[in-house]
Structure 1
């Protein structure tokens, strides 16, 4: 028959990961003519637009999940995790090519799923994406810090590209 793997992947991990990967994939050219010729507020708005689109995608998925039978706090967990993964994607765009922007988020989720929790110890401190409750402040702070760091890393790269044109 073969092996069967019975592994439960919570929607609070899967939906934000899909949302972040799709949002990062639809950015055809983040350094195109509009960004290269834009002024500073427009650069920030373009980065914010990508983040908002990703969170809307994750939010729509979370609302659909809540309507189907999920719990309302799961909506906030999905939004928090989506922001964290988009921040990782922004940081990746700043460092590597756009084609690889999805890699850090996927690697982080897979690492958290594989090594972030132990049956007798609970969640590891570095695996904040595994926190299933929306009430602890630390995962929210970490998510917002990663989004801020990702945007802070991305904007100088856009400035350098603008300086060349």
Structure 2
């Protein structure tokens, strides 16, 4: 079984980008220090703390598409600058992640088993297996939803890529 599903679910990157606050990017060193043995000044996170009705509607539509109804989840944006990366790691809280590209994607998602994917659509990742992001050549921003109470095997969208 693969550790990711690249879907054909259509999203509007401009919709999600409208929630990014340019001055609220947080340095990832404090958040991800257990995964990093060096200072990575090219990986940033922006936590989404307020959810308006349009965003909640989008999130629920994604859940419906995936056939899930999680109760424990969080959303944020990940930003990796050219040359930055996210080393191989397993998530401690999330069982799966949903990622939606908001920029041109460079910098492959990779897994410990050697699988690499440069996804361009909404992708569901099994975050219980070691995974990481290779250095992009352009700024890479994704909308990220970490789901804490649903396993990868529970996703039911009718096909696994």
Q: Which has the higher helix share?
A: 1
Normalised TM-score (structure 2): 0.29
Q: Which has the higher strand share?
A: 2
